[in-house]
Amino acid sequence: MKTDNNNLNELFEGLDFNTAKPETGHKERFFQKLKEQNPGQKPKVRSLWTPILSIAASITLALLLFGNLLNPNQEYSKGDLASVSPEMKETQDFYSSLIQKELNTLEAEKSPETQAIVKDALLQMEKLENQYAKLKKDLLKSGNDNRVIYAMINNFQQRIDLLQQVLDQIENIKSFKTQNHESTTI
């Protein structure tokens, strides 16, 4: 390895490299000579900002184009039924308000006797809401596939059915409690 370095050193020993710095005004003289050679053309000077601005413009354009492909309109990106059509928005609003009404009724009926049933029902509701969140993602991916829309509506119906069953069970517990107390004599 040392012999290779020695050969390279010998090769470059005889050469005289110009390491002097250019004199002041070298740039202006150089441009003057260019101007004299090409009188009709203006010398082009690239500044530091030119490549930076062109890269920034390219990135901005790419983001805008890519963003519009993924997100053509803001309402569609929600992935819920309201983004499909006005009729589906009405359907979603109807089911959402009905579910909220049933949840409020369930909270009002909460008592020590029904606490376990209410807690279990809320856990089941959470599972159904997680399934709905997955369905929203599927709707975005599928592009408003009717099967996904049907599954979303079915999810709403399952939540309402669950809440109605729980409320029926609570009513049965209340009626059983009142029947037991009516037959008890003091």
- pLDDT by 10s per residue, the chain, length 186: 555 667 777 766 766 666 677 788 888 888 888 777 776 665 555 566 667 766 777 677 666 666 655 554 444 446 677 778 888 888 888 888 888 888 888 888 888 888 888 888 889 989 999 999 998 888 888 887 888 888 888 998 998 888 899 888 888 888 887 776 555 555
pLDDT given at position 2: 54
Q: Are 81 and 91 in contact (CB under 8 A)?
A: yes
Residues 87 and 68 in one domain: no
Query: Are 74 and 109 within one domain?
Result: no
Same domain, 91 and 165: yes
For residues 55 and 138, membership in a common domain is answered with: no
Per-residue pLDDT, 127: 92
CA distance 46 to 154: 63
Are 73 and 162 part of one and the same domain? no
Q: What is the pLDDT of residue 73?
A: 46
Look at residue 107 and tell me if it is in a domain: yes
Is residue 87 domain-shared with residue 178, that is, in the same domain? yes
- Positive or negative torsion for Cα 6, 11, 16, 22: negative
Q: Six-digit token pair at 22?
A: 């250019």
Do 54 and 135 reside in the same domain of the chain? no
One domain, residues 144 and 62: no
Q: Cite the DSSP H helix spans in the chain.
A: 2-13, 26-37, 49-70, 86-108, 115-142, 146-183
